[in-house]
Structure 1
Amino acid sequence: MNRMKTVIATLVATASILPQVATAYAGDLNILTWEGYAADTFIPKFEKASGCKVTASYVGSNDDFAAKLAAGGGVYDIITPSLDTVPMMQKAGFVDPIDTSKVEGYNGVYPEFSKASAVTAEGETWAVPLIWGSVSLIYRADKVAGTPDSISVLFDSKYKGKISLWDDKSALYWTARYLGYNDIYDLTDEQLEAVKAKLIEQKPLIRKYWASAGELTELMANEEVYVSNAWTGLTSKDVNGLNKGFKVVEFTPKEKSEGWMDSMMIAKGSANTECAYKFISFMQSPEGQCGIAQSTGYFPVNPEAVSSCMDETLKKERQVGNIGFVKSLVMWEQPKRLDKYLEVWNAVKAAP
């Protein structure tokens, strides 16, 4: 528990300035989530059906959840962290357990997600799966020579000043795989030093560490970045949809892409649990699952829910029923020494 306190203190200390959020009232639902997860294409449908007003605040990294919850003083009702962050939210006491009997459509969720060890712990369910996907690599086809197939493109000096990475500790995972380390969530001190050295060596090549999908879209659309890691399906759709006269291409490197799954958790002591459960249930419905999949380009967690709102072509594109794809990814896990990983990533960013 002392280590958990250290991790939370580190996250709070390194977080950006936190926005002030008004105290919640009955019928209001404050959600701390990611871009695209509270889109106007489906949230108004929930509000009309439930009578609950949604106010969304956004994060750029999983590290933001602990920092904002620690500083926010009970202003959030639902958070949507990734699978690797769920255990920390539970162990830190930031969330309450979920009563799955109150979640309509829960039995339609892939058991590979709903029964994951990070989701169920100590005889309780702590999170309800929401959406999943992968993190692949993306590049400007007209600016990058040949057809890249490796993480090495992120470290290629030919693209100095045109490379970007997500501003997140996962930069360590990408670099560890590039260096040939297999157990990327339990790196030794020596391996972490090598990863840190490689990332510091890379820094002169970096245009910017991006904080959100929207920021990466702008960087690529404005021709500031040619190569980056990116949310599979989202950035390429957004950039190519701008019709800038060039195309960006996604690919899975030979070292594998990363996989993630985001879940809904109820913030501890929420005064709006009735609205919270209505929202969690809505997000397992066809309107919720197809809505968030449409707004983000990611993959639904409830194949039963999308059976009536996705055609066969779209189901194939969004990996519906293809759990084998999950097994092809390096799924996110909480590092064994999270505090050490955060220390290394912060040292990289602080380096000149």
Structure 2
Amino acid sequence: MKSRPIKVAAAVAAAALLLTGCSNGGGTGGGDAAGGLSIDVPEVPMLESLGEGEGQVNIVAWSGFVEPAWSDAFTAETGCTVNRRVAGTSDEMVQLMRTGDYDLVSASGDASLRLIVGGDVAPINLELVPNFGDDIVEGMKGQVYDTINGKSYGVPIGRGANILQYNTEVVTETPDSWSIVWEEDSPYAGKVIAYDAPIYIADAAVYLMSTKPELGITNPYALDETQLAAAIDLLKTQNGIVSEYWADPAAQITSFVGGTTVAGTSWEVLRKLTEDPKFESVLPKEGSTGWSDAWMISSQSKNPNCAYLWMNYTSSPEVNGAIAMNFGMAPANAAFCDTSAEAKEHCDYYHATDEEYFKNVWFWTTPVEQCVDGRTDVTCTNFQQWTEAWLTVK
């Protein structure tokens, strides 16, 4: 679900996933994946040992993830030239990876399962990525969206929450709930901004988990047909109080700064980029959705050795931290936070090592027919169904 401007990205994907099997874990939030999923996926071999670098590596990445400041140093160190292709959405990333022309992708959770189930990416031998160690934050290991059948398919890069941003000059009482952007009697009706993508259905589901427990939603990405219908009804209600929808973060910033919007969904980096103290943000009591990005290696990689060298290089505290600061997110390598006062300030702002904070964040996970909440007595709705349902909202 990502389309990231400036330093960020969100994506609309429309491919259905038909998965079978049973989940080995649900959890109370996005940070508790209980070791990923158990589902049927294509058998793709994992690289067993590193050889000589092939001289290049071809990467599909979000803007801000692969910059000369560190790619040139990587080339000097390894002899592997970095060829970057910037993608604007997760859907574009999936399509590019399926061409077989790229070795690596910086995939978000709304793309990961599609790539794994399609046989487009290979399991990762973490022993060949020594910088993936104790300093990688626990909340980015073994997640549902990139750990399948006990195998890791992703090397974490960074994460962030979808938070409630508000204009303190208008919203004078600090909100603690998403109710001000979901309820039709909101005092800010007509000044609410919402995210424009099918995955935003999960945000409605998060709110319903708290306000309508009788629906039985325990994971916002595991919705049966009744639960999906309830989320769509809520989104249609919200449509009546929305001033505009955003997919381009630059447009979201413009909406807040221009006064069209006074409350709505945001990212921590966007609130920071407004550079105006009247804009504040909060992670509401109901929790929120969020995103987590990871390097994934193509099952057709022509340069697997250079690809592994890149994943290890960018997992070091210094480089992973540089990517996180450039992009505007919490780094995966917590050791970065102790490298300088500036690094500590960045980590504090983005809650880098605050697992209690991220326990209330449900990271984007592609909705699939196999219920990721562990239910086996129903079939859950997949992303194709979400995409079709989203078209009815506006």
When the two structures are superposed, what TM-score results if normalisation uses the length of structure 1?
0.78
Aligned partner of residue 296 in structure 2, secondary structure: strand
> 2:149 matched to 1:127?
no
Corresponding residue of 1:239: 274
Change (3 A) 1:207 1:248: same
1:303-336 deviation per Cα after TM superposition (whole angstroms, max 9, x unaligned): 2344324554444334344333332333444434
**Does 2:348 match 1:322?**
no
Aligned 1:153-168 pairs, distance under 5 A? 153-155=180-182, 156=184, 158-168=187-197
Instruction: Give the one of 339, 351, 354 matched to 1:308.
Output: 339
Q: CA 1:344 to 1:30, structure 2 compared with 1: closer, same or farther past 3 Å?
A: same
**Mapped partners of 1:104, 1:215: distance in 2:** 40
Q: Distance in 1 between matches of 2:246 and 2:329?
A: 19
Map 1:110-259; keep pairs closer than 5 Å.
110-122=137-149, 124-155=151-182, 156=184, 158-179=187-208, 180=211, 181=213, 182-183=217-218, 184-231=220-267, 233-240=268-275, 247-259=278-290
Helix, strand or coil at the partner of 2:163: strand
Note if contact 2:113-2:145 (Cα within 8 Å) is conserved in structure 1.
Answer: yes
The reply to whether residue 269 of structure 1 matches residue 300 of structure 2 is yes
Which ranges in structure 1 are unaligned for 5 or more consecutive residues? 10-25
Aligned 8 A contact 2:109 2:365 in 1: yes
Match 2:385 to one of 331, 336, 343: 343
SS in 2 for 1:164: strand
CA distance in 2: counterparts of 1:190 and 1:165, whole angstroms: 23
CA–CA distance in structure 1, aligned partners of residues 241 and 189 of structure 2? 4
Could you tell me whether the CA contact under 8 Å between 2:17 and 2:114 is conserved in 1?
no
Tell me how far 1:236 sits from its aligned partner: 0.9
The corresponding residue for 2:291 is: 260
Instruction: Give 1:289's match in structure 2, choosing from 320, 325, 328.
Output: 320
- The residue aligned with 2:121 is 95
How far off is 1:126 after superposition?
1.2
2:154 is aligned with what amino acid?
A: A
Alignment CA distance shift 1:8-1:335 (3 Å) = closer
Measured on the aligned residues, the alpha-carbon RMSD in Å equals 3.1
Q: State the 1:117 CA deviation.
A: 5.0
| Partner SS state of residue 272, structure 2 | helix
SS in structure 1 at match of 2:85? strand
The CA deviation at 1:251 is 0.7
| Further displaced range: 80-89 or 169-178 | 80-89
Identity of matched residues, % = 24
What is the distance in 1 between the residues matched to 2:56 and 2:248?
26
Task: Pick from 45, 61, 66 the counterpart of residue 33 of structure 1.
Answer: 61
Q: Distance in 2 between matches of 1:228 and 1:100?
A: 39
Q: Find the aligned partners of 1:161 and 1:64 in 2 and give their Cα distance.
A: 33
Distance 1:6 1:91 in 2: 12
Higher helix share: 1
- Greater CA drift, 333-342 or 172-181: 333-342
Where 2:391 maps in the other structure, the secondary structure is helix
Shift of 1:129: 1.1
SS of the residue corresponding to residue 80 of structure 1 reads: strand
Q: Is structure 2 residue 91 aligned with structure 1 residue 66?
A: no
Helix, strand or coil: the match of 2:233? helix
In 2, distance between residues paired with 1:92 and 1:317?
37
- Deviation at residue 113 of structure 1 after TM alignment: 2.7
Paired amino acid for 1:126: Y
The count of corresponding residues between Structure 1 and Structure 2 is 324
- TM-score normalised per structure 2: 0.71
Q: Partners in 2 of 1:211 and 1:35 — Cα distance?
A: 15
**Secondary structure at the counterpart of residue 16 of structure 2:** helix
User: Counterparts of 1:164 and 1:326 in 2: how far apart (Å)?
Assistant: 23
| Structure 2 CA distance for aligned equivalents of residues 128 and 119 of structure 1 | 9
Structure 2: give runs of 5+ residues left out of the alignment. Answer: 1-13, 19-53, 370-379
1:105 aligns with 2:147: no
One-letter amino acid of the structure 2 residue matched with residue 218 of structure 1 = T
Change (3 A) 1:278 1:167: farther
* 1:7 aligned residue: 16
When residues 323 and 30 of structure 1 are mapped into structure 2, their CA distance, relative to the original with a 3 A threshold, is same
Q: Give the secondary structure class of the aligned counterpart of 1:75.
A: coil
SS in structure 1 at match of 2:173:
coil
Q: 2: CA distance between counterparts of 1:36 and 1:220?
A: 24
